[in-house]
Amino acid sequence: MTPLRDAFLSAIVALGLCGPLVGLVTTSGDRGLSIHARPIATAVVVGLVFLGRLAILSWRGRTRAEAVQANRAFAERITRAGKYVTPVLLVAAVALPFTGSRYYIDLGTLVLTYIMLGWGLNIVVGLAGLLDLGYVAFYAVGAYSYAILATTFGLGFWTCLPMAGILAAMWGVMLGFPVLRLRGDYLAIVTLAFGEIIRIVLTNWVSLTNGPNGITGIPRPTLFGLAFSMDGGSGTFAGFFNIEPEVIQRIIFLYYVILGLALLTNWVSLRLRRLPLGRAWEALREDEIACRSLGINVRNTKLTAFGIGAMFGGFAGAFFATRQAFISPESFTFIESATVLAIVVLGGLGSQLGVALAAVVMIGGLEALRDFLSFLGDQMNSEVFAGIASELPLYRMLIFGLALVVMMILRPRGLVSGRTPSVALTTVKEIAPDLVAQGRG
């Protein structure tokens, strides 16, 4: 079958499917519901299917060798670019608050929270190769630890932060114990259940957590004891430096707090990778039986991975609580675990740079797509587009999902998929992803 003929047939099928689904719309008027046709919208969808099918066919038309070659060249480019991308990202992250735009700083804070969660989960999934679908549980434990300690005992953010981390790590170890013997799918299901258990306990233990109503009035962090309140008194940031108190000061401070926490996570992970513990995690991902034959205590090594990964989740949770000043179980649903896991997988298991890029793409990109689609919708004010223009932003998840699928087809091992050795006798050589195990839990 020629590509054109194939694409034409696909378009016909699309027309059959989308004709009624997209082409007809019901609106409620004076005389009840009435049906309107949307020929332009249907034409657009069918046209997209036609062109998309052609594109897929021409992409598939390449020989396998060409595809492998292109993929390898891309991987090398990314690895080489990584050296420059990291400092550029870092400078951009430090400089972001100077834009002065509250929208960008808030978005940056959100992205950094996910980068930190991604780096934390990367220890468990990327290095130790243990598939964890309930990472949000530790995020929740950290958030509630801070919220309860702060509202009950009046402790400050900086006192509670280590406590939240330790409590989350304890829960990480507690989850670790029963799942030590499980691998792969079974491990994933139990961790998923653990995440749900934590959320359901938080919802129902009303006397401690205030149930679904959540905890309000969680105190904001201070800068060496200087609060960011609006009264401008002597004990506040603005009063101390003799400037006008503004909300943006607190926003910027929170941004730098999460930037610091995320960089701490990154630094600790990078250090651990070069230490025996980190190497044992990676060895565990490669071959657990060989590890045992070399005298590595597999149980303890897995527990440290769960514990340390959970600790960073707990830190991020405490930050989330202090930033929002309000938390409820609704913020800790499975979709959060899935998002963080998607960030780690999309970035490339074990790659710090990959995770950061993936978080920027997934969280920042989704936001940018929403803006772009609203903008596009505003431009299409002609009569023919009526009905599509206003709906356009609603399609963002669909477009985003498609983009992820295409991404994983093109780069199945994530954006940055090679492995950098932790030590070298002479020169450090990147290891091709097809040699690196992905872990079976």
Pairwise CA distance, residues 76 & 206, whole Å? 54
CB nearer to other proteins: pick between 112 and 436:
436
> Which of 77, 271 has the CB closer to other proteins?
271
Closest CA to 172 of 128, 203, 210: 128
Closest contact distance (angstroms) between CB of 408 and other proteins is: 20
Paired residues of 28 in beta bridges: 33
Q: Are 127 and 278 in contact (CB under 8 A)?
A: yes
At residue 346, the 3 state secondary structure works out as helix
Q: Are 308 and 272 in contact (CB under 8 A)?
A: yes
Least distance to other proteins from the beta carbon of 100, Å?
Answer: 36
The Cα 415–Cα 335 span in angstroms is 22
> Could you tell me the smallest distance in angstroms from the CB atom of residue 355 to other proteins?
18
Complex with other proteins: residue 175 or 308, whichever CB lies closer: 308
**CB burial of residue 257 (10 Å; 0-12, 13-18, 19+):** buried
Task: Return the amino acid letter for 22.
Answer: V
Task: Rank residues 325 and 428 by Cβ distance to other proteins and give the closer one.
Answer: 428
CB of 276 to other proteins, least distance (A): 4
For binding to other proteins (CB under 8 A), which residues are involved?
A: 268, 271-272, 275-277, 279-280, 282-283, 286-287, 289-298, 419, 421-429, 431-432, 435-437
Task: Tell me how far, at minimum, the Cβ of 413 lies from other proteins, in Å.
Answer: 11
User: Which residue, 256, 236, 251, 246, is CA-closest to 325?
Assistant: 251
Task: Pick between residue 195 and residue 350 the one whose CB is nearest to other proteins.
Answer: 350
Q: Whose Cβ is closer to other proteins: residue 156's or residue 421's?
A: 421
Q: What's the rounded Cα separation, in Å, for the pair 173 and 236?
A: 39
Structure tokens at 365: 């990109």
Q: At closest approach, how far in Å is the CB of 333 from other proteins? A: 33
